[in-house]
Amino acid sequence: MSDVDVVVGYDGTSESERALRWAAQEARLRRLPLTVCHVWRWPFPISHIDHEGVAIVRRMGGHLLDQGVALAGDLAPGLRVRKRLEKGSVYAALVHLGRDADMIVVGSHAPDEMPVGSAALRVPARADRPVVVVRSAATRDGLVAVGVDGSAGSDAALAFAFEEAALRGWRLRAVYGCWEPGAAPGGDLSLFGDEDRLRHVCGAVLERAVAPWLVKYPHVQATTSLVLKSPREALFEAAQDATLMVVGARGTGVVERLTLGATSDALLTHAPCTVAVVPNPAGF
């Protein structure tokens, strides 16, 4: 890609149309071009390749892509829209196209209906750019909820969340679920024997993490929420009211990042709202 853009996957389904709507709005707000990508594949075993049939499948994919581009133009008149017709794996194509993008946007099935191997799970696990998995339509009066734990990963999530709230004029809630050994600052397990001290120490971590962004985005209506529950429970609770949930990605692969952290993965699968997974730039 010659310049930064917003990349969105489109396959003609209602889920991908919702993603396209989000992406077109995102590109307009960020004053970036939008790249609409459709990935086609030959649906039969390679031993049964029919060259004429392959040409037909590819041509049908091109027509579907043109529909998506036309819809993007209708959604955001004047927006610069580019199209990419790719062959093969959806998630691989989006990760590749997204290497120079500002973000990647994909659609998602309803909670608990996401199939194994879904691009909505695989793209966030492999991309080195923020990935927005669109599950619900954006509202005029939205709420961005963001997970915080004082780490570099959560700082990247905060940066994305505040920018998104500022662009869209939405409220923001920074959530720290601290009732878990791994969430204790410095791994200090003694904090769990003194609830008041735990609140004081973790509350200070939360406020310090959010403070710079309040200065940078003074017009964002932001609140903080320290929750004496596990990070997963705290974020699931916040997701019930959120329009957009923003979390950092925590890789567990030995050689490369292959899977998301348990909390991010669970939110992508079960949260009722749209979820953005933001990688830690220091990890790449």
pLDDT tens, N- to C-terminus, the chain (284 residues): 447 899 999 999 999 999 999 999 999 999 999 999 999 886 666 666 677 777 888 899 899 999 999 999 999 999 999 999 999 899 999 999 999 999 999 998 776 666 656 888 899 988 999 999 999 878 878 999 999 988 888 899 999 999 999 999 999 999 999 887 766 676 667 777 778 888 888 899 999 999 999 999 999 999 999 999 999 999 999 999 999 999 988 643 322 333 456 788 889 888 999 999 999 776 54
Residue 246 near residue 267 (C-beta atoms within 8 A)? no
What does 58-87 look like in DSSP terms, one character per residue?
HHHHHHHHHHHHHHHHHHSTT--EEEEEEE
Residues 234-247 have pLDDT tens digits of 999 999 999 999 99
Q: Identify residue 200 by its one-letter amino acid code.
A: H
| Virtual torsion, Cα 80, 58, 106, 159, nearest 10 deg | -50
What domains lie within the chain, and their CATH numbers?
6-134 (3.40.50.620), 143-283 (3.40.50.12370)
Kindly report whether the global pTM for this prediction surpasses the value 0.75: yes
3-class SS of residue 33: coil
Question: Cα-flanking dihedrals φ and ψ of residue 5, to 5°?
Answer: -145, 180
In the DSSP assignment, the letter for residue 228 is S
SS3 letters across 122-156: HHHHHCCCCEEEECCCCCCCCEEEEECCCCHHHHH
Quick one: the chain helix, strand, coil %, rounded to 5?
50, 20, 35
Q: Identify residue 10 by its one-letter amino acid code.
A: Y
Whole-number Å distance between alpha carbons of 214 and 248? 19
**The tokens of 54 are what?**
């392959």
Residue 36 near residue 8 (C-beta atoms within 8 A)? yes
Q: What Å distances lie between residue 125 and 94, 186, 226, CA to CA?
A: 12, 27, 27
